[in-house]
Structure 1
Amino acid sequence: MTSASEESKTAAILSSAFRAFAAYGFRKTSMDDIAKGAGMSRPAVYLHYKNKEAIVRELTQYYYDEKVILVAEALAGEGSLPEILAGAVQAQSQGMAEILASPHGLEMLDATKSMSTDIVQEGEAKLTRLYADWLRREDSAGRAHLPVGPDEAAKTITTSLKGIKMTASSAEEFEQGISQLATLLGAALEIR
């Protein structure tokens, strides 16, 4: 079991690394940059993480752990199907505009994808299952119109979100694309 002090140090390192990657890019960020931002010595950072790649993997895991919780909460919320879906999509995409607004946002996403493929795949699978389970419940309750099965519809939601993230050329374009996707899918799934 880790102590509160160790958790605090880990959080400081991860926060500092995220800020440094956003400011300088993954390749140009040094472990010294991360240590300075965390208010620690470089050797102290190495006691927690062996390299920048390990930090990226931890940041990716943290991202997906947080998104799974937020999306599950949104899907358990009240409202119409489009409202609930919009809330879940917003919860899943929260914070991504900040990454894309960084001059090194695409580099950060590429680093995450290349160094954390297994974590990304597992995280996306968990999110897809959340959407599928929700759609299954909504369909069983007669509140959803599913032209395809819930698993296929859920995969469409998560892959579309991922596609917008990977192709948006700016934070504004990303936010607009996410909003449009939630509106389109919500309207398509709602029973009229």
Structure 2
Amino acid sequence: MTKWAKAVNPPGERAAAILDAATGVFLRYGYRKTSMDDLARAAGLSRQGLYLHFRTKEALFDAVVEHLAGSVRETALNALADGGRTVADRLADALAAVHDSPASTGLRELTGELPARLHHDVVAAIADLVRRNGIESRWREHGVTADELAEHLFTASSGARPDRRREQMAVAVRIVTRGGCPQRTV
């Protein structure tokens, strides 16, 4: 069951506008200091009108988090799409989108972290790209799977300096996509 199940009406144009307005209010005041009156005012509705769309502040907050996570997921998955770019550029762009997009920043400000499902979906899409492009085969002899490579890239991107994330991710992606493991000599 999705967070939208707590909403009275399914997502639509009006619900999206409410979510956008609510995002700004929650980011400005935080969950605890935000009232339904604040949220209704920001959305241009009466409080009763807001209740027609969302039963509770918690349901609206959950929908905002889901909306932001969906936006980050869509941006990252779109970055992984071909579009005539190299695999390395697509990977670096997707990882930067996960951490540096406005929706990602807002999501972390509201929740303190990226939701586990978003993490899982992006890592799975990266692993799929790694498999489809033969990158996993370069690592197989060293016992490294596409899933492990994808998780490694995601984790590395999480630890990269925000002001240098794209540059640092380009290096990590080059290592994964081009070189593979060097041969060991004893």
TM over 0.5: yes
Distance 1:7-1:35 versus aligned 2 partners, 3 A rule: same
Matched, 1:62 2:67: yes
Matched, 1:128 2:135: no
Q: Deviation per CA, 1:33-74: give whole Å up to 9, x if none.
A: 110010000111112112222122212222233333332222
Distance 1:67-1:95 versus aligned 2 partners, 3 A rule: same
Residues 80-91 of structure 1: pairs in structure 2 closer than 5 A? 80-91=86-97
Q: Tell me the percent identity.
A: 27
Residues 68-79 of structure 1: pairs in structure 2 closer than 5 A? 68-77=73-82, 78-79=84-85
Residues 35-114 of structure 1: pairs in structure 2 closer than 5 A? 35-77=40-82, 78-93=84-99, 94-96=101-103, 99=106, 106=109, 108-110=110-112
Contact 2:54–2:60 (CA under 8 A) maintained in structure 1: yes
Q: Deviation per CA, 1:61-114: give whole Å up to 9, x if none.
A: 2223333333222222233332121221233231157539xxxx64x123x77x
Report how many aligned residue pairs link the two structures.
166
RMSD value over aligned CA atoms? 3.0
Residues 21-40 of structure 1: pairs in structure 2 closer than 5 A? 21-40=26-45
**Which of 13, 27, 50 is the aligned partner of 1:8?**
13
1:14 Cα offset (Å): 0.7
1:50 aligned counterpart, secondary structure: coil
Q: In the alignment, residue 187 of structure 1 is paired with which amino acid?
A: R
Segment drifting more, 133-142 vs 39-48: 133-142
Matched, 1:158 2:163: no
**Structure 2: which 5+ residue stretches go unaligned?**
1-10, 180-186
1:133 Cα offset (Å): 0.3
Kindly name which structure, 1 or 2, has the bigger radius of gyration based on alpha carbons. 2
Per chain length, whose mean CA-contact separation is higher, i.e. which structure has more relative contact order (CA < 8 Å, sep 6+)? 1
Q: In the alignment, residue 189 of structure 1 is paired with which amino acid?
A: V
Q: Deviation per CA, 1:97-136: give whole Å up to 9, x if none.
A: 7539xxxx64x123x77xxxxxx22222111110110011
Relative to the length of structure 2, the TM-score reads: 0.73
**Structure 1: which 5+ residue stretches go unaligned?**
1-5, 114-119, 165-172
CA distance in structure 2 between the partners assigned to 1:177 and 1:54 by the alignment = 36
Distance 1:85-1:109 versus aligned 2 partners, 3 A rule: same
Segment drifting more, 88-97 vs 34-43: 88-97
1:40 aligned counterpart, secondary structure: coil
Contact 2:80–2:94 (CA under 8 A) maintained in structure 1: yes
Q: In the alignment, residue 135 of structure 1 is paired with which amino acid?
A: V
Contact 1:81–1:189 (CA under 8 A) maintained in structure 2: no
Relative to the length of structure 1, the TM-score reads: 0.71
